[in-house]
Amino acid sequence: MPTLDRSLIAKLPPFRALSSEELSAVLALARASRYPKGSEVFAQDAEAHAFYLLLSGHVRVVRTTPDGHQIVPRYINEGELFGIAVAMGRTTYPASAVAAVDCVVLAWPNSVWPQFQSRFPSVTASTYETIGTRLQDTHSRVEEISTQQVEQRIAGAVLRLARQSGRTTAEGIEVDFPVSRQDVAEMTGTTLHTVSRVLSAWEEKGLIVSGRQKIVVIDLNGLATLGEGRRSST
C-alpha cells in the first residue's frame, strides 16, 4: 500500500503547525478514497463514523427538508475539512455531501478524534475555528436572505463562488465546477426561474457570461456594486 505523501497536507491550515513525524502519524490514521462526480460521501441523518478532508475536487453540501425542498449550505473547496459532526458532539450528519466533480478525500474514523484532541491540539483548534467561521457565514446568510432583494442575494452567491472556487480564464473568472441555475437557487432561497432571468439580464449587461452549468464572472466590481443594493443608498 502506497504511503500518503506528507506534502499533501503539510501546507493546509489544519496541519500547518505539525512536525513531519506528526504529519505522518496523522496520515497513518487516515484513509484516502476517490469519489466520482455525483457520488455521495455521506448522507444526511446517517450515523457519523468519520470526518473528512477534501484533497481535490469540490463537494456540494445539501440539506433536504421534510417537505422535499433542498438547500445548499455551502460548497467545500480543496483543503477544507467537512463532515466534522464529531467535533460538535453530534452522532449523525446534518446534511449530505455530494461530489460536484471527481474528488479525492481523506477520511479519519471518529474514534481517532479523542487522540487528535490530546496529541494534535492544533488540529482540533483549527477545526473549531472552522466551525466558528461557518456559524458566522451561516448567520450572514440569514442576514442576506432576511434583508436583501433576490438580485442582491444572487450577486452575493455568485461572487462567493467566483472568489472561493474561481479559476481565471481568458474570458474571466469561471466557477470551476458545474453549477446549475437550480443550484444557485438553492443557495439563495429562490427559484431557478428567477435565477435564470437575473443571469440573463446580467449577461445582457456584460457582467457575466454563462452557459449550461457554467458561470463566468466578467465584471467583479460591477457585480459587487449590485450586491450592495439600493436599500439605503437610493
Binding residues (CB under 7 A) for DNA: these are 149-151, 180-182, 189-194, 196-197, 199-200, 203, 210-214
Q: Which three cell numbers stand for residue 80?
A: 477544507
145 binds, among DNA, its own copies, none (CB under 5 to 8 A by kind): its own copies
Residue 150 touches which of its own copies, DNA, none (CB < 5 to 8 A by kind)? DNA
199 binds, among its own copies, DNA, none (CB under 5 to 8 A by kind): DNA
Query: Rounded to 5 degrees, what angle do the CA atoms 168, 14, 174 make?
Result: 15
**149: how many CB neighbours lie within 10 A of its CB?**
13
Helix (H) or strand (E) holding 209: strand 208-211
Q: What cell does 46 get?
A: 446517517
Here the cell at position 153 is 442575494
Which burial class, exposed, middle or buried, applies to 78 when counting CB atoms under 10 A from its CB (0-12, 13-18, 19+)? middle
Cell numbers that stand for 177 in this block = 465546477
Q: Residue 233 half-sphere exposure, CB side, CA atoms within 13 Å?
A: 6
The partner in contact with residue 151, picked from its own copies, DNA, none with C-beta cut-offs of 5 to 8 angstroms by kind, is: DNA
Q: Which is nearer to its own copies, 134 or 214 (CB)?
A: 134
**Partner that binds at residue 129, options DNA, its own copies, none, CB closer than 5 to 8 Å by kind:** its own copies
The partner in contact with residue 149, picked from its own copies, DNA, none with C-beta cut-offs of 5 to 8 angstroms by kind, is DNA
Q: How far is the CB of 125 from DNA (least distance, A)?
A: 39
Closer residue to its own copies (CB): 16 or 69: 69
What is the rounded distance in angstroms from the CA atom of residue 209 to the CA atom of residue 216? 5
Q: In the bound complex, what is the minimum distance in angstroms from residue 81's beta carbon to its own copies?
A: 14
Q: Is the CB of 5 or the CB of 129 nearer to its own copies?
A: 129
Q: Cβ 194 to its own copies, closest distance in Å?
A: 13
Nearer to its own copies among residue 37 and residue 63 (C-beta): 63
Q: Which is nearer to its own copies, 27 or 141 (CB)?
A: 141
Rounded Cα gap, residues 116 and 100, in angstroms: 29
- Where does this chain bind its own copies (CB under 8 A)? 63, 65, 67-69, 71, 73, 85, 87-90, 94-95, 117, 121, 125, 128-129, 131-136, 138-139, 141-143, 145-147, 186, 189, 229, 231-232
CA angle 93, 161, 58 (to 5 degrees): 50
Single-letter code of the amino acid located at 134: R
Query: Whole-number minimum distance, CB 218 to DNA, in Å?
Result: 15
The CA distance from 182 to 191, in Å, is 7
